[in-house]
């Protein structure tokens, strides 16, 4: 019986060894799949980061362009204000120098021009649209009927 016992121990040992090898094979397979999954996740994260970086760079460039455009517009606005102030001073000086121009400037606007400048207090685009469509048409000066 000693040989039979040794044989059974040998078979049990081989079975345990086979079970250990099979378990290790399963662990290796699971680890390979986890590594593959982690690699895919890392690749996706890198691609997302690259896209986000490209978007951030685009937004930064757009922001810089907008700031540059705002600076240009502010400069133009300042130049226009200076030009307007200069023109107003010129007009005032001309009024002081020229009596005929002063009399002309002091006259009230014609009715047609005054109606063009009159506007009620509007609140919103819809009110403006209604005001535009509801107001009476101003006839050109040359198309008025003769009395």
Query: Distance between CA 130 and CA 127 in Å, rounded?
Result: 5
Give the global pTM.
Answer: 0.46
pLDDT beyond 50 at 144: yes
124's torsion region: left (phi>0), alpha (psi -120 to 50) or beta?
Answer: left
Specify the pLDDT at position 141. 59
Q: What pLDDT digit, counting tens, does each position of 30-64 carry? A: 999 999 999 999 999 999 999 999 999 999 999 99
Specify the pLDDT at position 147. 46
Of the candidate ranges 69-83, 110-124, 133-147, the one whose mean pLDDT is the lowest: 133-147
Q: What pLDDT digit, counting tens, does each position of 73-119 carry? A: 999 999 999 999 999 999 888 888 888 877 888 888 888 877 777 77
Query: Distance between CA 12 and CA 8 in Å, rounded?
Result: 6
Query: What tokens does 116 get?
Result: 């063009």
Query: Where do the structural domains in the chain lie, given as residue ranges?
Result: 13-106
Nearest Cα to Cα of residue 127 among 119, 136, 115 = 119
pLDDT beyond 50 at 4: yes
Which CA distances in Å does 18 have to 29, 40, 94?
16, 33, 112
Place of tokens 């760079």: 57
């Amino acid at each position: 019986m000693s040989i039979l016992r040794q044989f059974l121990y040998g078979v049990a040992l081989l079975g345990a060894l086979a079970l250990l090898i099979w378990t290790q094979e399963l662990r290796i397979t699971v680890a390979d799949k986890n590594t593959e999954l982690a690699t895919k996740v890392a690749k996706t994260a890198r691609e997302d980061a690259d896209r986000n970086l490209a978007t951030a760079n685009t937004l930064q460039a757009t922001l810089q362009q907008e700031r540059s455009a705002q600076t240009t517009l502010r400069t133009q606005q300042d130049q226009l204000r200076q030009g307007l102030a200069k023109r107003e001073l010129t007009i005032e000086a001309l009024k002081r120098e020229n009596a005929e121009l002063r009399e002309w400037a002091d006259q009230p606007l014609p009715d047609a021009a005054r109606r063009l400048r009159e506007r009620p207090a509007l609140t919103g685009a819809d009110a403006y649209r209604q005001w535009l469509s509801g107001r009476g048409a101003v006839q050109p000066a040359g198309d008025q009927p003769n009395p």
